[in-house]
Every structure is written in structure tokens, then in C-alpha cells.
Chain A
Amino acid sequence: MPWVSYLPALAQGALVTAWITLAAIAIGAVLAFVAGIARVEGGRAVSTLALCYTELFRGTSLLVQLFWFYYALPLVGISFEPVATGILVLALHVGAYGSEIVRGALTSVSVQQLEAARALNFGRMHTLIHVTLPQAIIEMLPAFGNLAIETLKLSSLVSLISIADLTFRAQSIRNLTLDSAGVYSLTLVGYFAMSLVLMLVMRLIERWARRGAAFPRAAHS
């Protein structure tokens, strides 16, 4: 049973993957809200800036983004730790996709709700925080769940900027043992287990958000 001996190293890699994924999701979510809200509520300059960010990071390859931040940016004197670079780039990438989810959900809140808020003399901030966002977040959650799992899978690319994540460990072990079947099977199981956990957590969040009678509609998917 040679594969048992791979487990400690793979587990260490999985921890790095989990950490990078969770950090990227957290930072990415903040970026998604900031850029998504800026797109909808910002003035022309602010929303254009947010649009540029979104399209730039959606329109280019994550791998090239990683290389650019890791190899090109240091040439102008800006450099981070590999892990910090990985988290930052991954967060920027999924934040761009997330901002589209936020924007879409915000604009899906009905005009009637906004008119009711206006008739009650709510200011723009109050309308956003107390009327629009609480309704929009419910709509965002299923898409955010998908994006969270996407983030986990995309995180494997950070192995290419020398971060010892699950994929990186798997490559190393395979190079030593040449046991491709065993190592990569275990790696797949590892990613799948982690995505199952993510999926479960997102489901719980969704159920929690839809608790009570406010949103009686059945949860999506």
C-alpha cells in the first residue's frame, strides 16, 4: 500500500490549498461587493473603474495573471510572498466574476421596491443597505456557491508559481515515485472532498438566509 505514504505530504498540500482558497474567497467576496455595488450605484467615473477591473480580470487567463504578478511585477520593484501573490491574484480573479453576480442581483431587485423606498423618503444608502442588498443577497447565494467551488479548483494553478499546494505536492510525489495513477487519484479525491465541504457550507448559508417566512420560495437548485 504505497499510497498511504503519500498521505502526509498530500494533506500538507491540501491545507495550503484550503487556506489559499478560503482567503481568496473572503477577499474576493469583498472585491465582488465593492466592484458590483460601484457598477450599479457609482457615478460614471467609479462605475467605469469597476467595469475596467471586472473586464480586465475576466478577460485574461488566471495563469498569465499569476505569472504577471509573480514574475513581471517584481521587475518594477513590487513583489510579494508567493502565497500572498497566489491569494491576491486568485481573489482579484474570482472577485471580478463575483462582481458580475452582485451587479446582476442588485439590478434584479424590482423597480417597485425602489419606488417604495423613494416614497418613504429613504436615502440612497439606506435603500441600498436595507432594501436592495437584503433581497439581492438571496439571489446571489447559489451563484456564489458555484464560484466558491470554482475558486477551489482554480487554486491548483498556484502550484505553477512554486506554492506547495495539493497539486504541487502531487506533482512532486509523482516525480519521485512515477505512480501517476495512485497519486492523481488521491489528489482528485482530495479536491472532491474539499469541494463537498464547500458545497455543504454554501447550502447551509443559503438555508440560513432563507429561513423564516420572508422568502418562502424554495431554494434554487
Chain B
Amino acid sequence: MTEKAPAPLIQFAGVTKRFGALTVLDDFNFEVAPGEKVTLIGPSGSGKSTVLRILMTLEPFQEGRLTLAGMDYQEPGGTGPFKASERHLREIRSHVGMVFQSFNLFPHMSVMRNVAEAPVRVLGLSRDEAQARAVDLLAMVGLADKKDHFPSQLSGGQQQRVAIARALAMRPRVLLFDEPTSALDPQLVGEVLAVIGDLAHEHDLTMLLVTHEMRFAREVSDRVCFFDKGRICEQGSPEAIFTAPSHPRTCEFLASVLR
């Protein structure tokens, strides 16, 4: 079976990102195909979360080029740190969703409103449509009965599942997971991974996952990328990376996390 490789959905070409004197991404090159599930692993500070935050337009970058579905993040003649207009950034954001380490639900909104608010305010859906969509998604993450609760009444695992439903309600093409289970008590990690694992079967959804859950990464990803010092040091199928890493830094890292 020889399938022609589809054009990449996401393409980093020579992207450099600095925080002051610190270079977080260094001439970074990275491509993601549509529908691909990619896990980013590596020591903290190696730039993996920064890749997600740049894709979500939470952080600008200084050099290089980044495109999403052929759309450049930076506009020619664009101003400000992002070198793009707010309008352009919102156009990009409409294709991308993000799940945060600390959930970041809106504490003053019910679970239902957390999920339905953006579809109403941003996509212009009617309340009824948005709530129907929210009910479906909450059922999918197993929280249909919690729709009238407030975030403070939920466990961390439940909050994170609401956050996943909230991100999905915007129907993004790309969903970014930034250490989605790192803030959870160990016994709550499974329920969140189960939801993410289900999403991994969605053919059209492109997923980028930063995680320290190596066994899970191995199960769900099409590709694993090992980050070190702002670059991808080694990448390949989960099998290749986890069973036969070739780069000494990868071996060292895996040995330290897998013990």
C-alpha cells in the first residue's frame, strides 16, 4: 500500500522562540499530517509545551514560519508581538482547541455554560443548539448528570473532562493537550486518559499531546517526538521510540521516567 503523504496540516519551518535571553525553540522544524496523533515527550523546559502554546497563539515566536492548513501565523506587514492582526489570529484560533494542565474552567459558570458559552458567543449558535451540542459532549465524557454543577463541585478528573468537552464544542481541527493529567491525583488520571483515548479514534481530529504518561502515549499515538533543548532530538513510531531509541538523550530520558 503506497499512499501519497497528504500535505501537512501544521508546519513549523525554522521557528525560533526566545524568552529574553533564553531560547526555547531553536530553528525548530516539525510537521503534522491531518488526523495525525502526535505525542511530545521530553524533559521539562525542552520546549514541548511552547509548541502547543505557539499553535494556540498564546505565545508569539520571533523567527521562522508557521502555517496551519496553508495559513501563515504571521501576516506580511503584521504588527505587534504576533506580527498579525487580532482578526487574523482569531481566524487561526477557530481551527485550534486546547486542554490545559490546570483545566482553566470558568468558575462562575455552570458546567453547561462552560461548554455552551463559546459556541453561542463565538460561533453564533442559538442557546438551544449550543446546549444540545453541550449535552452530547458531556454525555461523551460521562458527565451528563453534572451539567448544572459548578466547577468547584467537581473532582479534578471531572473538571478536566468538562474542559475537553468545552474544547470539542468549538469543533476544532486540531486539539492540543498540554499535560492534561499532570495536575490530577493519580487515581483520577485514568478517567481523563480514557476520554482522550476515545478521541484518538476520531479519524479527522488532529491531536498534539504533551504528557508524561508514557504507556498511554505508546497506546494512542501515531508518532512520538522526543524533545531536547528546543529541538526534536528523535522521533518515530511509539514502538521504535519506546523499544529501540537510538539517541543517547532519548535512552537517558526514557530510563529516568520508566525506571
Contacts and interface: CB of A to CB of B under 8 A. Distances in A.
Interface string A95-119: 0000000000000000011011011
Interface string B97-126: 110101011111100000001100110000
A131 B106 CA distance: 7
Contacts of B224: none
Given A120-B118, A120-B166, A130-B117, A115 B150 contact: no
Contact of A121 (B94, B108, B149): B94
B150 A213 contact: yes
Contacts of B152: 213-216
B210 interface: no
B127 interface: no
B108 A122 contact: no
Nearest to B118: A120
Contacts of A135: 106-108
Contacts of A124: 86
A121 B93 contact: yes
B6 to A, nearest CB: 26
A214 B153 CA distance: 9
Given A119-B97, A120-B166, A122-B118, A213 B58 contact: no
Contacts of A113: 104, 106
Interface of A: 112-113, 115-116, 118-124, 126, 130-131, 134-135, 138, 212-216
B54 to A, nearest CB: 13
B134 interface: no
A112 B90 contact: no
Interface in B142-157: 149-150, 152-153
B45 to A, nearest CB: 19
B167 interface: yes
A134 B121 contact: no
B129 to A, nearest CB: 17
Given A116-B106, A119-B58, A213 B149 contact: yes
Contacts of B108: 134-135, 138, 214-215
B241 interface: no
Contact of A118 (B57, B102, B166): B57
A112 B94 CA distance: 19
A119 B93 contact: yes
A212 B149 CA distance: 10
A140 to B, nearest CB: 14
A218 to B, nearest CB: 13
Nearest to A217: B152
Nearest to B110: A214
A124 B86 CA distance: 10
A115 B101 CA distance: 12
Contacts of A126: 121-122
A216 B149 CA distance: 12
